[in-house]
Amino acid sequence: MNQAVAAARAVLFDFDFTLADSSEGIVVCMNHALDRLGLPPASADAIRRTIGLDLHTALGVLAGEEWRSREDEFLEHFVRKADDVMVASTSFLPGAARVLRTLHEAGYPVGVVTTKYRHRVEDALQRDGLRAFVEVIVGADDVPRPKPAPDGLLQAADSLGIPTGDCVFVGDSEVDARAAQAAGVGFVAVLSGTTTEEEFDGYPVRAVLGGVGEVVPAE
């Protein structure tokens, strides 16, 4: 097991681009919502770079801050489309199932802290037989402020009954690194998203891994 994780008492994970890839569905939902606002589609690459941000912030990035006044309408269109396509378009990244199972069997409480709605993560885990390995899921609908605010990580640690200083958070983005820093949680970066290793410079990163499978390397 990676030493940065082994030293913790609980392991928390981001979801998109850390444990799973649902980017295909996100691109479809984002462009559906943009179209309903009368806006042109965004490129898949531009949308992928917003994954991990809350939807309100993503709208500002993709369409301009002046469109934030219509963020509730954008969110409604996104969510309705996501109800149809999101879970079906979500696949777990290589090694994710093995890592969740191994951590659980080794006695590590495991959590997921995400800007997705909690039920979408629950549904994807349940579909692949992984729900029993995750003790707590904190979604965007569970906290007043999304990442990079520390709320989700603080709530997850509290639910597990483990001090934040004894938790480690595995994530793929600067948003994740900032949330961990704000919460006083150790951070392990994975390079399975759109963020480069250099972009994590300046954050107190305990380790930089190629992907989630390296949290517990395969034997």
Confidence of residue 218 (pLDDT cuts 50, 70, 90): confident
CA distances from 48 to 27, 185, 192 (A): 7, 26, 12
Please report the pLDDT score of residue 33 as a whole number.
Answer: 97
Q: What is the mean pLDDT of residues 199-217?
A: 96
| Residue 219 pLDDT greater than 80, yes or no | no
- Give the model's pLDDT for residue 110: 98
Predicted pLDDT of residue 102: 97
Mean pLDDT score, 43-47: 96
* Each residue's pLDDT tens digit, 133-149: 999 999 999 999 999 99
Q: Which of 4, 51, 17, 9 is nearest to 214 (CA)?
A: 4
- Active site annotation includes 14: yes
What pLDDT score does 51 carry?
94
For residue 85, give the nearest of 38, 138, 32 by alpha carbon. Answer: 32
Question: Would you tell me how many other CB atoms lie within 10 Å of the CB of residue 165?
Answer: 12
Name which of 2-6, 93-97, 126-130, 142-146 the model is least confident about: 2-6
Specify whether the CB–CB gap between 191 and 210 falls below 8 A.
Answer: yes
Predicted confidence (pLDDT) per residue in 65-107, tens digit = 999 999 999 999 999 999 999 999 999 999 999 999 999 999 9
pLDDT at 109 exceeding the cut of 80: yes
Q: Is the pLDDT of residue 34 over 90?
A: yes
Task: Write the DSSP string, the chain.
Answer: --HHHHT-SEEEE--BTTTEE-HHHHHHHHHHHHHHTTPPPPPHHHHHTTBTB-HHHHHHHHH-GGGGGGHHHHHHHHHHHHHHHTTTT-EEPTTHHHHHHHHHHTT--EEEE-SS-HHHHHHHHHHTT-GGG-SEEE-GGGSSS-TTSSHHHHHHHHHHT--GGGEEEEESSHHHHHHHHHHT-EEEEESSSS--GGGGTTS-EEEEESSGGGTS---
pLDDT of 15 over the 80 cut: yes
CA pair distance 16, 25, nearest whole angstrom: 11
Reference 170, options 59, 16, 37, 38; nearest CA is 16
pLDDT at 2: 87
Q: What pLDDT score was predicted for residue 1? A: 87
Q: What percent of the chain has pLDDT over 70?
A: 100
190 pLDDT more than 80: yes
Going along the chain from its start, the domains and CATH numbers come out as 3-21+90-214 (3.40.50.1000), 23-85 (1.10.150.240)
Alpha-carbon gap, residue 78 to 31, rounded angstroms: 9
